[in-house]
């Protein structure tokens, strides 16, 4: 990715990583997308409340810096596997929100033509191999994609996003082991939001940090503050470089928090109001990034306002697109079970 | 010009098919437990590692779930993996990736991907390996839309159906009976395919249709030879594919013979015999039936270790003969 020029870079020498690495335009684009994720999920939630979306959904509000930071060094050819809490990953990897809304509305213009919904949102063209309804389900698949990259010498790097809950699944351990044994270009990103549904990591996980698991599989284990975009992006850069150089996988633990409940059924009885309030007020990833951008002179209040307005318009347009799109024909229910052959 | 036909074992036929597939397409590779220098638990991969190298005959750790997931991920991203389970029983460790991921990925993603993975499962009893290494779980996977499930019964079909499976864009599960691995039969050299989804009439007859799968096909043929001497003319239908099932071949056969028996090794209840029987009951062949349908399947027990007990848990040739006799003579 084209970064800041030499002169500009010198003037930013003491700033955190991303402010040295990227241009102002690129960083503003990151802020735009963090807002896009936030507003997309708020829009989806509102549409759900109004009965326009059925089923359930798992919102990642509060985790936007993690999705954006990890995807920052990825190219369009690089691939990701995502989770049930995967809307942010999808947008960060380049998806259009209008087609995501269309999917949530069950429409033919959705990314999965209305067959997948929130939990299986994907954008294969942009390298998102799909969210997954099974905790840990995407981790071995990412390793398989990385094996393809190595065998076909495509140079692609694969990122597997998963939550803290997945670190206690067998699939996680089997996948990390194989990736390390075969030195595959894959990055395991654990977005640790503190709770696997209602069960805290303290009650479920024998190690203090999920990154501690990395030593069992002879790979670097990196802990980042998942709510600070620059920290996440810097760790991702290093892991991507290592993967591209053929040095094998990295486990990144991105410590973060979801502002909302696990899903729409959550009564939030396992965490305190004070805890939630603290994360929302003092550690919101968008606010933290905005403050840094302002402090370092990359944007002013007017610039932020115009980003918010543009995002609001894209969200409103996206919802209208979804509403206006056609529903699939019931007679086509059996489509895509198998590949149509001539 | 006809290809040269040799006698090969079922295992050799599979090995030859995998070699041809790898020669034809560099995306094809093999993965599984101890398939490299060891040659596979049943020596099906044999010395292929010497010809194709350890990258294309890839030994995995003992990680069935992870291994299956890696195969799925590789398939979705452009490779053509053939994943060997050491025993079909170990599919239970990998059901998540087979059932939730491989089978559903294309559908869930609205047709944006295909999952061209082949999984091979050495199945069945008769080796004294007891309850956790002897099961026939094909109906489990046959219950899952999105998968194709096949059970070749001869070396010829084992090669041709494996090559069809590799060419297929969707996940194909191949159940190979372990006792068939040494069975010999004619196999042409070179590339050919046997279509998935087509049953085969192994023996034509007028009095009774036996629908058999896998190793039960040969047992049914052996029984038919004995029954012929008694004047009972048996038609043997080798189902070959259990999903998608070739209903028409079975229906046409039953319309001709007016009697049907299903013979399969898996546990009788809720198995392939139930499906075939119900399919006939729902079809126009029902009106042609002169006698109730008979199912011969595995006992409602795990497979025991003791060889006499083990034999008693699955249909044997005398069981088929006796049941066929009763069915044709109306002793029921």
d(CA A130, CA A141): 10
* E strand spans, B38-167: 57-59, 80-84, 118-123, 148-150
Please report how the helices A24-49 and A285-295 are oriented relative to each other, as an axis angle in degrees rounded to 10.
150
Confidence of residue A265 (pLDDT cuts 50, 70, 90): confident
Q: What is the pLDDT of residues A38-53, one digit of tens each?
A: 999 999 999 999 999 9
Q: What is the pLDDT of residue B21?
A: 98
Question: Rounded mean pLDDT of chain A?
Answer: 96
How distant is the alpha carbon of residue A336 from its chain centre?
A: 26
Q: What is the pLDDT of residue B185?
A: 98
Q: Is beta strand B234-238 parallel, antiparallel or unpaired with respect to B200-203? A: antiparallel
Say how far residue A136 (Cα) sits from the centre of its chain.
Answer: 15
Query: Which CATH fold topology does B200-329 show?
Result: Rossmann fold (3.40.50)
Tens of pLDDT, residues A111-139: 999 999 999 999 999 999 999 999 999 99
Structure tokens, B78 = 């452009």
Distance CA A206, CA B249 (A): 57
Q: H or E element: which one contains A51?
A: none
- Give the whole-angstrom CA distance, residue B128 versus residue A2: 65
Q: What is the DSSP string of B203-269?
A: E--SSEEEEE-THHHHHHHHHHHHHHHTT--EEEEE--EEETT-HHHHHHHHHHHS-EEEEEEEEST
Write the DSSP assignment of A210-263 as a string of letters.
GGGGGGGGTS-EEEEETT-HHHHHHHHHHHHHHHHTT---EEEEEE---SS-SS
Residue A180: closest C-alpha in chain B:
B61
Domain boundaries, chain B: 5-188, 200-329
What are the structural domains, with CATH classification, of chain A? 6-325 (3.40.50.970)
Contact A122 B109 (CB under 8 A): yes
Are the C-beta atoms of residues A56 and A265 closer than 8 Å to each other? yes
Residue A111: CB partners within 8 Å, gap ≥ 6? A90, A95, A99, A100, A102, A103, A121, A122, A123, B109, B110, B112
Place of tokens 């003037």: A11
Task: Please indicate if any CB of chain A lies within 8 Å of the CB of B61.
Answer: yes
A149 to chain B: which residues are within 8 Å by CB?
Answer: 77
What is the spatial distance between Cα A226 and Cα B68, in angstroms, rounded to a whole number? 31
Q: What is the pLDDT of residue B198?
A: 98
Among all residues of chain A, which has the CA nearest to that of B114?
A: A339
Contact A147 B78 (CB under 8 A): no
DSSP conformational letter for A128: B
Identical fold, B5-188 and B200-329: yes
Contact A230, A16 (CB under 8 A): yes
Contact B236, B203 (CB under 8 A): yes
pLDDT at B93: 98
**Maximum C-alpha span of chain A:** 62
- List, for residues A192-206, the tens digit of each pLDDT value: 999 999 999 999 999
Phi-psi map region of B294: left, alpha, beta (phi>0 left; psi -120 to 50 alpha): beta
Q: Got the DSSP string for B275-289?
A: HHHHHHHHSGGGGG-
- Evaluate whether A80 touches A93 at the Cβ level (below 8 Å): yes
Report the C-alpha dihedral over residues A204, A206, A211, A213, rounded to 10 degrees.
-120
Cβ of residue B197 closer than 8 Å to a chain A Cβ: no
**Tens digits of residue pLDDT in A324-342:** 999 999 999 999 999 998 7
Measure in Å the smallest separation between the Cα of B102 and chain A Cα atoms.
10
Q: Which of A83, A160, A69 is nearest to A118 (CA)?
A: A83
Q: Which is more confident, A268 or B8?
A: B8
According to DSSP, residue A118 is labeled G
Verify whether the Cβ–Cβ distance B63 to A174 is below 8 Å: yes
Rounded CA-CA distance A64/A226 in Å is 9
B79 Cβ under 8 Å from any chain A Cβ: yes
Q: Which ipTM was obtained for this model?
A: 0.96
A124, A142, A148 member nearest B113 (Cβ): A124
Q: Would you state the pLDDT for residue B331?
A: 64
Higher pLDDT, A243 or A266: A243
A177 and B65 in contact by Cβ < 8 A? Answer: no
pLDDT mean for each 10 residues of chain B (332 residues)? 86 98 98 98 98 98 98 98 98 98 98 98 97 98 98 98 98 98 98 98 98 98 97 98 98 98 98 98 98 98 98 98 95 58
- Please check whether residue A329 touches B, CB under 8 A: no
Q: What is the pLDDT of residue A3?
A: 60
Strand partners, A157: none
Count how many Cα atoms sit within 13 Å of the Cα of residue A112 in the half-sphere of its side chain. 29
B74 in A contact zone (CB under 8 Å)? yes
In the block, residue with structure tokens 């799968």: B213
Runs of H (alpha helix) within chain A? 6-11, 17-21, 24-49, 64-71, 87-92, 97-104, 138-152, 170-181, 201-204, 229-244, 273-282, 285-295, 301-324
By CB atoms closer than 10 A (0-12, 13-18, 19+), residue A154 is middle
DSSP H or E segment with residue B1: none
Sequence-distant (≥ 6) Cβ neighbours of residue A192 within 8 angstroms: A163, A164, A201, A210, A226, A253, A254, A255, A256
Q: Does B60 touch chain A (CB under 8 A)?
A: yes
Is B96's Cβ below 8 Å from some Cβ in A? yes
CB atoms within 10 A of CB B210: 33
Task: Say what the pLDDT of residue A8 is.
Answer: 72
Q: Which of A189, A154, A159 is nearest to A66 (CA)?
A: A189
Q: Are B296 and B243 in contact (CB under 8 A)?
A: no
Q: Which has more confidence, B314 or A7?
A: B314
Q: Does A49 touch chain B (CB under 8 A)?
A: no
Window 261-300 of B: residues touching A by CB (8 A cutoff) are none
**How far B58 CA sits from the closest chain A CA (Å)?**
10
Under a CB-based contact definition with an 8 Å cutoff, are residues A109 and A321 in contact? yes
Whether residue A115 and residue B69 make contact (CB cut-off 8 A), yes or no, is no
**pLDDT beyond 90 at A267:** no
- pLDDT for B3 equals 76
Q: What is the pLDDT of residue A168?
A: 97
**CATH code, B5-188:** 3.40.50.970
| Spatial contact of A82 and B108, defined as CB atoms under 8 Å apart | no
- In angstroms, the CA A136 to CA A232 distance is 21
What is residue A4's predicted lDDT score, i.e. its pLDDT?
62
Q: What is the pLDDT of residue A1?
A: 44
* Contact present, A190 and A166 (Cβ < 8 Å): yes
A143 vs B97: CB contact, 8 Å cut-off?
no
Q: Does a cis peptide bond (omega within 30 degrees of 0) precede residue B244?
A: yes
Q: Crossing angle, helix A64-71 and helix A229-244, to 10 degrees?
A: 30
Q: Do B110 and A181 touch (CB under 8 A)?
A: no
**Taking residues A90-110, what's their average pLDDT?**
98
Beta bridge partners of B210: B236, B261
- Report the residue of A144, A158, A217, A327 to disrupt the B interface, i.e. the one with the largest count of B CBs within 10 Å: A144
**In whole angstroms, what is the distance from residue B207 CA to residue B234 CA?**
6
């Amino acid at each position: 990715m084209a970064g800041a020029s030499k002169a500009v870079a010198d003037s930013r020498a003491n700033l955190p990583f991303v402010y040295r690495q990227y241009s102002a335009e690129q960083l503003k684009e990151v802020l735009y997308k963090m807002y896009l994720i936030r507003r997309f999920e708020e829009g989806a939630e509102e549409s759900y409340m109004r009965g326009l979306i059925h089923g359930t959904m798992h919102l990642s509000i509060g985790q936007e810096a993690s999705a954006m930071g990890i995807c920052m060094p990825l190219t369009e050819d690089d691939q990701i596997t995502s989770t049930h809490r995967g809307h942010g990953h999808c947008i960060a990897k380049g998806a259009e929100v209008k087609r995501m809304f269309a999917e949530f509305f069950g429409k033919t213009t959705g990314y999965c033509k209305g067959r997948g919904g929130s939990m299986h949102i994907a954008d294969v063209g942009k390298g998102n191999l799909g969210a997954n309804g099974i905790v840990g389900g995407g981790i071995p698949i990412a390793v398989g994609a990385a094996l393809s990259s190595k065998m076909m010498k495509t140079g692609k790097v694969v990122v597997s996003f998963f939550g803290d809950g997945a670190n206690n699944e067998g699939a996680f351990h089997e996948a990390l082991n194989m990736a390390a044994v075969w030195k595959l270009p894959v990055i395991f990103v654990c977005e640790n939001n503190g709770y696997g549904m209602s069960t805290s990591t303290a009650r479920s996980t024998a190690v203090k940090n999920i990154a501690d698991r990395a030593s069992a599989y002879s790979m670097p284990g990196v802990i980042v503050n998942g709510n600070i975009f620059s920290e996440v992006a810097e760790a991702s850069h290093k892991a991507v470089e290592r993967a591209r150089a053929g040095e094998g996988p990295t486990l990144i633990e991105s410590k973060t928090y979801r502002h909302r409940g696990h899903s729409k059924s959550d009564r939030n009885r396992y965490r305190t109001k004070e805890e939630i309030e603290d994360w929302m007020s003092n550690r919101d990833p968008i606010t933290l990034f905005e403050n840094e951008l302002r402090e370092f002179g990359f944007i002013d209040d007017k610039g932020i306002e115009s980003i918010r307005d543009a995002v609001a318009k894209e969200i409103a347009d996206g919802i209208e697109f979804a509403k206006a799109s056609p529903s699939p024909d019931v007679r086509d229910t059996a489509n895509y079970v198998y590949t149509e052959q001539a | 010009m006809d290809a040269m036909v040799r006698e090969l074992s079922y295992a050799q036929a599979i090995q030859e098919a995998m070699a041809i597939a790898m020669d034809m397409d560099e995306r094809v590779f093999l993965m599984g437990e101890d398939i490299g220098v060891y040659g596979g638990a049943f020596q099906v991969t044999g010395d292929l590692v010497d010809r194709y190298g350890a990258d294309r005959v890839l030994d995995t750790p003992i990680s069935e779930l992870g291994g299956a997931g890696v195969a799925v991920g590789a398939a979705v991203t452009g490779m053509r993996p053939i994943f060997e389970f050491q025993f079909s029983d170990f599919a239970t460790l990998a059901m998540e990736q087979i059932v939730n991921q491989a089978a559903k990925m294309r559908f869930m993603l609205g047709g944006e991907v295909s999952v061209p993975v082949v999984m091979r499962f050495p199945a069945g009893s008769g080796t004294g390996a007891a309850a956790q290494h002897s099961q026939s779980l094909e109906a489990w996977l046959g219950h899952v839309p999105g998968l194709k499930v096949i059970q070749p019964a001869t070396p010829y079909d084992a090669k041709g159906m494996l090559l069809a499976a590799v060419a297929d864009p969707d996940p194909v599960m191949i159940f190979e009976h372990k006792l068939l691995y040494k069975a010999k039969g004619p196999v042409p050299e070179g590339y050919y395919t046997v279509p998935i989804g087509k049953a085969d009439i192994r023996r034509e007859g007028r009095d009774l249709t036996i629908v058999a799968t896998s190793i039960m096909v040969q047992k049914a043929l052996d029984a038919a030879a004995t029954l012929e001497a008694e004047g009972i003319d048996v038609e043997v239908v080798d189902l070959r594919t259990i999903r998608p099932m070739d209903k028409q071949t079975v229906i046409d056969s039953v319309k001709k013979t007016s009697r049907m028996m299903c013979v399969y090794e898996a546990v009788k209840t809720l198995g392939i015999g139930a499906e075939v029987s119900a399919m006939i009951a729902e079809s126009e062949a029902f009106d042609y039936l002169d006698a109730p349908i008979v199912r011969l399947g595995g006992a409602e027990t795990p497979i025991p270790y003791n060889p006499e007990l083990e034999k008693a848990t699955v249909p044997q040739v005398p069981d088929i003969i006796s049941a066929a006799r009763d069915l044709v003579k109306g002793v029921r």
